[in-house]
Structure 1
Amino acid sequence: MSKSYDPSKEGAQMSFEGRMSYSDYLMLEKVLDAQEPLSKAHDEMLFIIQHQTSELWMKLALHEINAAVRSIRDDRLEPAFKMLTRVARIFEQLNSAWDVLRTMTPSEYTTFRESLGQSSGFQSWQYRAIEFLAGNRNVAMLGPHAHRPDIMEKLEAILAAPSLYDEAIRLLSRNGFDVGAEADKSDWRETRTASEKVFAAWQIVYRDPERYWMLYELAEKLVDFEDYFRRWRFNHVTTVERIIGMKRGTGGTSGASYLKKMLEVELFPELWHVRTGL
């Protein structure tokens, strides 16, 4: 019989008295003690962890999108490419999470749904921040956060500055493209509408990618991000309909019907429309 392997004989640290351990660094006690089911239903733990981990991934997505915005503003596109690639991969992870939640049946969800009260993913301020940063600036969606001045301050700060796509359009302008009124825009609070000038600018980029390679690459990184974001929305709709059918959401929305409307939202419209115009 072979002897048990002892990693300490090869230098592995085994004693952590007075030293920082893995658990210390990650503050795992806080993380793992944050799940407090309000019912005795077995599947409530799945529901809580699914949403908590999604919020952690969204925190990272916000970190990366904010950095990408700053990089584009400073004409440092290579770092922005890396950050936007990471954001797309984050949404790939978020998409996979729906597969786990869909193992919960409607019957199982009903055993703890009443415990949720009026809480709903509709109220996720980080999700709203991602949408605002990307350019979908529906100020009506500030409503669920009005009771939290600290969160309102964060969301209002996002609305007061150019979005990720606004910065891409400003970059086009700095590179000599005619983007019309977008070049002199100063009010960033409202969702912009698609522009023929911006469409024409991207059309020039896509017709000569070798000449405008950096702009072309940025456009594709943005499309990649929205591609995964759209899949996330679709998987959200499918999961909700599979578990609660067409019932109203716990937060008062029309549930799956509301989510289906969100599938029609385009974050970077000209980048999708330009494909038809090539």
Structure 2
Amino acid sequence: MTDRTSAPPAVDDADPLTQPFPGASPYDTYVHATVLNTLQQPLTEAPDEMGFLVTTQVMELWFTLIVHEWRTARTAFAKDDLDAALDALVRSRRALTALNAAWAPIASLTPGQFNGFRAAFGRASGFQSAMYRHMEFLLGEKSAGMLRLHQGDAAVHEALGETYREPSLYDEVLRFLHRRGLPVPEHVRERDVTHLYGPDPDVVEAWRQVYAGPPHHPLLTLGELLTDIAELVARWRFDHVMVVRRAMGTKSGSAGSTGLAWLEQRAARPVFPELWEVRGGV
């Protein structure tokens, strides 16, 4: 006796879903999956290299989305559109959460597994990522040296140079707070935005006034959302440290950096520093 419940459904040749496309599928035309799936080109037979390549490429895509959202938020702050800015920051928080989860495929590489393909990428290193550098510049982590690193690629250098010369996301946040009546001083609002941002006691006071205010005030929502983003960035940096520590210990980095020590130094630098300092004075 046939179990009709387990039989596969009959194929209807007239079903529009099964009709062939004259060329690439609309899905592939929109998403470019065929192109994406050709970008993984391992250089060794090591079984872990494919996971390393895919993880790195996926992270580059998340960097691109995060940069897009932070630029959107920055523009909204400049226009005093807090709702649009908050929406973009919330979207970036989701993307950062996904970015952090992307470490999983390579988080437990042993030194032997990593050494199976490490030599193949020569002097390539994650700190050379131009899109990650856009992220850092948008956070106020400006560096003329990191910009100079890309001067051999004119298009990349020009695009990154624009982000370097423009106000960071946090610069626009602080200017927005000033227009909302908070005491962000002129020397902060008019600072040279090509310099590395450093904490300022007057900015701590501005945030203290926000945190001393009503518990559901939109500016407090902004402060907590920025703190979420700062924490997620810190967690990504820390996870990077741990991945490197497990895979290669204290060896020098592939591009000549100090490797683990360099990453630890970067990870120790807080994002939006006044938002952490203010918590001890509320």
**How does the TM-score come out when normalised to structure 2?**
0.92
CA distance in 2 between partners of 1:274 and 1:8 (Å): 65
Deviations 1:162-218 (A, max 9, x none): 11111110011111222112465063111122112211111111000358x121111
Contact between 2:52 and 2:105, CA under 8 Å: does it hold in 1?
no
CA gap of 1:131–1:176, structure 2 versus 1, over 3 A, is same
Cα drift, residue 17 of structure 1 = 2.1
Corresponding residue of 1:257: 261
Taking only aligned residues, the RMSD between alpha carbons, in angstroms, comes to 1.9
Corresponding residue of 1:99: 104
Amino acid corresponding to residue 203 of structure 2 in structure 1: V
| Aligned residues between the structures | 277
Structure 2 stretches lacking a partner, 5+ long = none
**Worse overlay, 241-250 or 176-185:** 176-185
Cα drift, residue 106 of structure 1 = 1.4
Q: Identity, % of aligned pairs?
A: 34
CA gap of 1:7–1:276, structure 2 versus 1, over 3 A, is farther
Corresponding residue of 2:161: 156
CA distance in 2 between partners of 1:249 and 1:8 (Å): 58
Cα drift, residue 116 of structure 1 = 0.7
Q: Which runs of 4+ in 1 moved over 6 A?
A: none
Corresponding residue of 1:68: 73
Corresponding residue of 1:84: 89
2:43 pairs with 38, 50, 55, which one? 38
CA gap of 1:8–1:169, structure 2 versus 1, over 3 A, is farther
CA distance in 1 between partners of 2:107 and 2:201 (Å): 42
The SS at the match of 2:171 is helix
Corresponding residue of 2:144: 139
Contact between 2:74 and 2:85, CA under 8 Å: does it hold in 1?
yes
Corresponding residue of 2:119: 114
Contact between 1:247 and 1:254, CA under 8 Å: does it hold in 2?
yes
The SS at the match of 2:103 is helix
Amino acid corresponding to residue 244 of structure 2 in structure 1: V
Contact between 1:132 and 1:163, CA under 8 Å: does it hold in 2?
yes
Amino acid corresponding to residue 180 of structure 1 in structure 2: P
CA distance in 2 between partners of 1:210 and 1:182 (Å): 29
CA distance in 1 between partners of 2:100 and 2:189 (Å): 37
The SS at the match of 1:39 is coil
**How does the TM-score come out when normalised to structure 1?**
0.93
CA gap of 1:180–1:32, structure 2 versus 1, over 3 A, is same
The SS at the match of 1:145 is coil
Deviations 1:25-51 (A, max 9, x none): 211111001111111212111111110
Structure 1 stretches lacking a partner, 5+ long = none
